């Protein structure tokens, strides 16, 4: 890392380590922000769009069922940013335990771990706020039995890491996070900022925290995924979202290089405003995207109502149809277990939905069949 590239100390300073290379030590949050008209306007738009999404969630007939496809879509894209090649179809089919369908189960397992970590984090928030302890627990879930799982999952790093091309060294890498001792102090300062009472707008705080976490880079692997997961958990903890329906990773993937460049610009030039405006635009875009998907899901659900009404047991058929919105790819066993109904009953209802054109069998097998709700899947 070249200290000459770091022309400002607004976000932190470069320090010379005992081993002779330079590293970046971020300043404690918050920084001094110049509240330009552009930043205030972008913040207002993001708050408005996120409020619209939250309001729509509160009026949806079965919001709990909606969580799962949004979580899985976020898991697929956030993991893809780090190089996995598993699709949403791969993930859902993996969860039916039909592992022979895959050539790349390692990739799917990484995505599945992201789902597990998200579910775990949402449940854990009921008893534990976002904290260093929770961050370590999330990392342990994320890295269990996957590539990088030998790199102390659930523990902050005990050695130096750096960010650069494969084969780079701390001297040649464009960014080197703080050494271990300084890292722990930086993490403690970050945790205090998460919990402190402040007049800083919540979305601005979230953008600051995401930058700070990535600058500290406290794990040997998985920092990007944990950092993106923290965003949605913070929004849920702070009450901006009742459910994790903001797929911010889709925006980050779409503008991936700009995302990396802006984070680095904060460290090197103290360019907080461009990063925060980028982050807020992402919140706006993905909130509007979430609204569109939810409105389309509502339309699809209305279109399925005649099939429910004409069934001999419309109450049971309604339960099965609504379940599809959380599991648009499922096996008979999954439907049976998830709905608490006999296997034969689940088989009967899925066959009815196949005949109605709502489901499509995708294996071609006579046994261990898997069904897909094409209209729902198409939205994700």
Instruction: Please tell me the total count of domains within the chain.
Output: 2
Structure tokens at 133: 């302890």
Whether residue 305 is contained in a domain is answered as no
Could you tell me which of 148, 110, 93, 165 has the C-alpha nearest to residue 363? 93
Whether residue 359 is contained in a domain is answered as yes
pLDDT at position 365, please? Answer: 78
Write the DSSP symbol of residue 286. Answer: H
Can you give the residue range of the structural domain that contains 335?
Answer: 310-378
Q: Give the 3-state secondary structure of residue 13.
A: strand
Q: Are residues 12 and 64 in the same domain?
A: yes
Q: Are residues 347 and 252 in the same domain?
A: no
- Domain end, chosen from 289, 320, 342, is at 289
Q: Are residues 278 and 207 in the same domain?
A: yes
Q: Are residues 234 and 370 in the same domain?
A: no
Task: For 188-212, write each residue's pLDDT tens digit.
Answer: 999 999 999 999 999 999 999 999 9
Among 19-28, 139-148, 151-160, top mean pLDDT goes to 19-28
Give the pLDDT band of residue 93 (cuts 50, 70, 90).
confident
Task: For 284-331, write each residue's pLDDT tens digit.
Answer: 999 999 999 999 998 999 999 999 999 999 999 999 999 999 999 999
Q: Are residues 92 and 235 in the same domain?
A: yes
Whether residue 298 is contained in a domain is answered as no
- Domain end, chosen from 231, 254, 289, is at 289
Whether residue 304 is contained in a domain is answered as no
Q: Are residues 324 and 194 in the same domain?
A: no
Q: Are residues 29 and 164 in the same domain?
A: yes
pLDDT at position 30, please? Answer: 97
Whether residue 59 is contained in a domain is answered as yes
Does residue 353 contact residue 310 with C-beta atoms inside 8 Å? no
Whether residue 344 is contained in a domain is answered as yes
With a CB cutoff of 8 Å and minimum separation 6, the contacts of 214 are: 223, 224, 227, 263
Whether residue 114 is contained in a domain is answered as yes
Task: For 244-255, write each residue's pLDDT tens digit.
Answer: 889 999 999 999
Query: How high is the mean pLDDT of the chain?
Result: 92
The CATH number assigned to the domain holding 315 equals: 1.10.10.10
Please give the average per-residue pLDDT across 168-180, as a whole number. Answer: 95
pTM for this model (two decimals): 0.92
The CATH number assigned to the domain holding 214 equals: 1.10.3290.10
Q: Are residues 36 and 75 in the same domain?
A: yes
Q: How would you label 345-375 residue by residue, b for 16+ Cβ within 10 Å and e otherwise?
A: bbbebbebbeebebbeeebeeeeebbbbbeb
Q: Are residues 194 and 50 in the same domain?
A: yes
DSSP of 110-148, one letter per residue?
A: HHHHHHHHHHHHHHHTTTS-S-HHHHHHHHHHHHTTSTT
- Domain end, chosen from 221, 255, 289, is at 289
């Amino acid at each position: 890392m070249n200290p000459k590239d770091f022309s400002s100390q607004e976000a932190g300073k470069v320090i010379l380590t005992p081993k002779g290379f330079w590293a970046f030590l971020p300043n404690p949050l918050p920084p001094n922000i110049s509240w330009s008209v552009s930043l205030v306007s972008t913040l207002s738009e993001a708050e408005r769009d996120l409020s619209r999404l939250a309001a729509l969630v509160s009026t949806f007939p079965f919001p709990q069922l909606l969580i799962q496809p949004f979580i899985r879509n976020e898991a697929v894209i956030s993991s893809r940013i780090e190089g996995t090649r598993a699709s949403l179809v791969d993930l859902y089919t993996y969860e039916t335990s039909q592992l022979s369908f895959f050539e790349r189960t390692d990739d799917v397992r990484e995505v599945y771990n992201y789902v597990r970590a998200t579910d775990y984090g949402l449940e854990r928030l009921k008893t534990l706020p976002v904290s260093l302890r929770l961050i370590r627990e999330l990392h342990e879930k994320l890295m269990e039995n996957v590539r990088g799982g030998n790199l102390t999952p659930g523990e902050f790093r005990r050695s130096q890491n750096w960010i650069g091309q494969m084969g780079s060294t701390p001297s040649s890498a464009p960014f080197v996070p703080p050494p271990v001792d300084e890292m722990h102090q930086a993490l403690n300062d970050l945790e205090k900022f998460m919990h402190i009472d402040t007049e800083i707008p919540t979305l601005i705080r979230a953008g600051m925290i995401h930058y700070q976490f990535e600058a500290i880079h406290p794990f040997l692997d998985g920092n990007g995924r944990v950092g993106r997961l923290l965003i949605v958990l913070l929004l849920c903890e702070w009450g901006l979202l009742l459910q994790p329906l903001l797929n911010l990773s889709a925006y980050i993937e779409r503008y991936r290089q700009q995302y990396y460049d802006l984070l680095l610009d904060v460290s090197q030039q103290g360019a907080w405003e461009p990063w925060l405006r980028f982050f807020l635009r992402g919140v706006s875009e993905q909130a509007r995207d979430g609204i569109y998907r939810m409105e389309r899901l509502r339309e699809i659900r209305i279109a399925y109502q005649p099939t429910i009404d004409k069934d001999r047991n419309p109450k049971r058929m309604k339960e099965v149809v609504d379940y599809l919105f959380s599991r648009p790819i499922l096996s008979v066993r999954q439907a049976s277990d998830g709905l608490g109904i006999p296997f034969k009953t689940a088989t009967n209802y899925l066959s009815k939905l196949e005949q109605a054109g709502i489901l499509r069998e995708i294996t071609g097998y006579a046994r261990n069949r898997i069904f897909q709700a094409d209209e729902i899947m198409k939205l994700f």
